Structure 1
Amino acid sequence: MSQDIRQAQVIVIGGGLVGMAVAYGLARGGADTLVLDQGDDAFRASRGNFGLVWVQGKGHDLPDYSRWTRSSATRWPTLAQALLADSGVDVQLRQPGGFHMCFSDEELLERQSRLRTLQAALGDYPFEMLDAADLKARLPLIGPAVVGASYSPQDGHVNPLKLLRALHASAQAKGAVLRSGVHVERIDCAPGEFRVVTAQGSFTAPRIVLAAGLGNPGLARQVGLHAPVAPNRGQVLISERVRPFLDYPTINVRQTDEGTVQLGDSMEEVGFDDGTSIDVLAAIARRGVSTFPLLRDVRLVRAWGALRVLSPDGFPIYQQSCAHPGAFVVTCHSGVTLAAAHALRLAPWIMGGASPAELQAFSGERFLNHKVYAHAH
């Protein structure tokens, strides 16, 4: 092997949750896999997320997204067991079901309508609508401001930092090579080969996966793909460790395996600003206290902002290039929920297997035909 060229069967650009889930699936399947990761100067969606493995409510206007999400949630126990075996890291998967809290009768009715739409489209789609009394029987510490909730047994959560560590360790245990601090300058395409040119040298492979998050638009253009993703900021608050009080994840509040409480779920269009703002954090804190009043006296220890990777309609983009076969783009904003699908369903497709049926809905070409602005979140 020459000093500046490294050859592999497949190169994955991006070492976050999306890229590493794909890389782990590829390496686990026996592919000679090279991961090129920008490093800590990249916008790290993977280090700022909420850790939910969430199904309910997703894809009410695109059933294929709901099917794809659910296919991943049902495969998550397989992924968690494989990661534990390959890395020794327990990602703390728990899937007891989850609650989406509603603070008005109107919210509750809208929630019921959304989930009934999904149930009508998909058939087997379990959920319950709970009024305040039903909810208090399940979650005794719930506050009086919550008028009810939806509950789905399909939902759960993990420790997202342990997940990222487990994916890195497991992929490398299966033979994947990780290069960090690599800035991709360009991709040169030739029949049957892609050359990734970087300041650290060139790397070649017959297959390439673009999983670079907010770096994907520019990379995709070089291989004949369309990936118009943009940043959307979310802010998160973390409390001190408190005694266990919440055995279920909820859409805005969850207690981690380490005892801290995580509060979040803001959505802000602020460009590439991944900072925090007092007004948004205050709103997140107020909603958390309204949901569980005991949090009023709990100290907050950390806050951060992170940038989601959102397409114009909020749904993923999965596509192989027609102009340059062997080049794939993989981008989404639900890197935790979809990790199992990425490792166990996308990786075989990338190596030449059949395309999962749901993927037809997620071509980047959909944005060339008409403008779509409704977010899937």
Structure 2
Amino acid sequence: MSELNARASGPSTMPRHSGVYDVAVVGGGLVGSAIAYGLRRSLDRIAVLDEDDVAFRASRGNAGLVWVQGKGLGLAPYGNWTQSSAALWPRLATELHELTGIDVHLEQPGGLHPAFSDAEFDARRQAMALLMAQPGMTPYPWQMLDRQQVADLVPGIGPALRGASWTPRDGTVNPLKLLRALHAAFACCGVDYLPGHGVQSITQSNGVFKLVTARDVVRAKLIVLAAGLGNRRLGAEIGLDVPVRPQRGQVIVLERTARTLPIPFTTLRQMDEGSWIIGDAHEEAGYADKTTGLPVLATLADRALMLLPALQHVRAVRTWAALRVMSQDGFPIYEQSRTHPGAFIATCHSGVTLAAAHAFRFSAMVAAGAVPSDLDAFSTRRFHVPQPA
């Protein structure tokens, strides 16, 4: 099938194919949608099975960072995988705009990670140096900037800032427009998007998977589990122990202003339409995804004002909480089941940053029927290393 072989179709709540799909992707968030978008290059009959809007939606609860710096400390292949995705992002943004007319507003001006004390500054410098010195890590440019150097990049920076780490590889995208563009691409390219099809059970017989959903039965030759926190339960259905847990983040959104922040921080960014997003919470709070708390929000607001004091005159318009999908060690999981060949799993907490890698690299692996050895570091086998007697 040619890359842009479009079969005009709209979202459906029921499968249009009475037979067997080439692949069924379980999960319609950013991870599953990016994979399905890439799969349409090689396969004709693709279904994306999604839950209802009551599902946990990490794809709608993030700041839209396309972020490289700091990724991979403790697992160099993750740093390299992240770099490869950031490098592919311009291609993804361009393709989506040409195909759907939706501009996801990719900007990659570099990024800053703030430090408000000598201790924070030194700890960040040591962590970045350790990251770059890891065996197998592909180094990239980075620098520790003092307060004046940050002020030269960001007008109006507060006096409380000690400095920041900086890399030229970081950037931002509008995550809601990204999810919309991926789903619009489904309609352009004949991918069946099936909401209300939360998967209840998975079996395999004679090389075909049977997925019993809340509404129907879907059959496919290949499946990809990209269901976020649901991958723990679904992974067990294909013989994989997937140790993922929820980690709550909280976000403050400020009203729109003229665009004045030329480079994003890990904790503060300005959207393409002018609104501001503040966020950096990491809470172990179980599945309480809708709970926001004043102590956390107050800390987020205080640190944002330390960065840009002028924000004290900008009104907060809403707050929300969402759940990150965190593995046992915090790194992604990519694997094909050994007991159920043709069943793949993809789990990560960086669905925005890794969207391009999922669209152009991981999807090709699924279509080829194998995860190559250079991704062995991301398999669940790392959680089950025998301990010495």
**Could you tell me whether the CA contact under 8 Å between 1:67 and 1:358 is conserved in 2?**
no
Deviation at 1:357, TM superposition (A): 5.2
C-alpha separation between the residues in 1 aligned to 2:132 and 2:200? 46
One-letter code aligned to 2:201: R
Secondary structure, aligned partner of 1:330: strand
Secondary structure, aligned partner of 2:380: coil
Could you tell me which of 176, 187, 197 is aligned with 1:182?
197
The equivalent of 2:10 in structure 1 is none
Deviation at 1:85, TM superposition (A): 1.2
Gaps of 5+ in 2: 1-13
Could you tell me which of 307, 325, 329 is aligned with 1:309?
325
**Could you tell me whether the CA contact under 8 Å between 1:223 and 1:323 is conserved in 2?**
yes
C-alpha separation between the residues in 2 aligned to 1:147 and 1:356? 44
C-alpha separation between the residues in 2 aligned to 1:71 and 1:251? 20
Relative to structure 2, which stretch is displaced further, 20-29 or 116-125?
Answer: 116-125
Please say if 1:106 is aligned against 2:105.
no
Equivalent pairs counted in the alignment come to 371
C-alpha separation between the residues in 2 aligned to 1:41 and 1:19? 17
Deviation at 1:3, TM superposition (A): 8.7
The equivalent of 2:110 in structure 1 is 97
**Could you tell me whether the CA contact under 8 Å between 2:47 and 2:192 is conserved in 1?**
yes
The equivalent of 1:77 in structure 2 is 90
Secondary structure, aligned partner of 1:172: helix
Could you tell me which of 270, 273, 278 is aligned with 1:263?
278
Please say if 1:367 is aligned against 2:383.
yes
The equivalent of 1:148 in structure 2 is 163
**Could you tell me whether the CA contact under 8 Å between 1:4 and 1:202 is conserved in 2?**
no
One-letter code aligned to 1:56: Q
Moved over 6 A (4+): 1-4
**Could you tell me whether the CA contact under 8 Å between 1:119 and 1:126 is conserved in 2?**
no
Relative to structure 2, which stretch is displaced further, 196-205 or 328-337?
Answer: 196-205
Deviation at 1:142, TM superposition (A): 0.8
Could you tell me which of 172, 183, 188 is aligned with 1:168?
183
Q: For residues 2 and 57 of structure 1, do their structure 2 counterparts lie closer, same or farther at Cα, with a shift above 3 Å needed? A: closer
Q: For residues 3 and 128 of structure 1, do their structure 2 counterparts lie closer, same or farther at Cα, with a shift above 3 Å needed? A: closer
Deviation at 1:61, TM superposition (A): 1.5
**Could you tell me whether the CA contact under 8 Å between 2:80 and 2:138 is conserved in 1?**
no
The equivalent of 1:246 in structure 2 is 261
Identity of aligned residues (%): 51
Q: For residues 2 and 164 of structure 1, do their structure 2 counterparts lie closer, same or farther at Cα, with a shift above 3 Å needed? A: closer
Please say if 1:21 is aligned against 2:34.
yes
Could you tell me which of 196, 217, 224 is aligned with 1:202?
217
One-letter code aligned to 1:271: G
Please say if 1:329 is aligned against 2:342.
no
Deviation at 1:108, TM superposition (A): 1.1
C-alpha separation between the residues in 2 aligned to 1:173 and 1:2? 17
One-letter code aligned to 1:336: V
C-alpha separation between the residues in 1 aligned to 2:279 and 2:208? 43
**Could you tell me whether the CA contact under 8 Å between 1:309 and 1:332 is conserved in 2?**
yes
Deviation at 1:29, TM superposition (A): 3.0
Deviation at 1:353, TM superposition (A): 5.9
**Could you tell me whether the CA contact under 8 Å between 1:4 and 1:200 is conserved in 2?**
no
C-alpha separation between the residues in 2 aligned to 1:41 and 1:6? 29
Q: For residues 318 and 284 of structure 1, do their structure 2 counterparts lie closer, same or farther at Cα, with a shift above 3 Å needed? A: same
Secondary structure, aligned partner of 1:107: helix
TM-score scaled by length of structure 1: 0.95
The equivalent of 1:375 in structure 2 is none
Gaps of 5+ in 1: 372-377
C-alpha separation between the residues in 2 aligned to 1:3 and 1:52? 36
One-letter code aligned to 1:166: A
Secondary structure, aligned partner of 2:47: strand
The equivalent of 2:9 in structure 1 is none
One-letter code aligned to 1:87: T
C-alpha separation between the residues in 2 aligned to 1:91 and 1:291? 26
Q: For residues 207 and 55 of structure 1, do their structure 2 counterparts lie closer, same or farther at Cα, with a shift above 3 Å needed? A: same
**Could you tell me whether the CA contact under 8 Å between 2:153 and 2:262 is conserved in 1?**
no
The equivalent of 1:374 in structure 2 is none
The equivalent of 2:315 in structure 1 is 299
C-alpha separation between the residues in 2 aligned to 1:358 and 1:111? 29
Secondary structure, aligned partner of 2:262: coil
Deviation at 1:9, TM superposition (A): 0.1
Relative to structure 2, which stretch is displaced further, 188-197 or 26-35?
Answer: 26-35
C-alpha separation between the residues in 2 aligned to 1:95 and 1:46? 20
Q: For residues 331 and 290 of structure 1, do their structure 2 counterparts lie closer, same or farther at Cα, with a shift above 3 Å needed? A: same
One-letter code aligned to 1:86: L
Deviation at 1:354, TM superposition (A): 6.0
Please say if 1:11 is aligned against 2:24.
yes
1:307-358 Cα distance to aligned partner (Å, 9 max, x none): 0000011101100001111000101000000000000000010011664554
Secondary structure, aligned partner of 2:150: helix
Q: For residues 8 and 354 of structure 1, do their structure 2 counterparts lie closer, same or farther at Cα, with a shift above 3 Å needed? A: closer
One-letter code aligned to 2:111: G
Please say if 1:212 is aligned against 2:218.
no
Relative to structure 2, which stretch is displaced further, 346-355 or 219-228?
Answer: 346-355
**Could you tell me whether the CA contact under 8 Å between 1:28 and 1:171 is conserved in 2?**
no
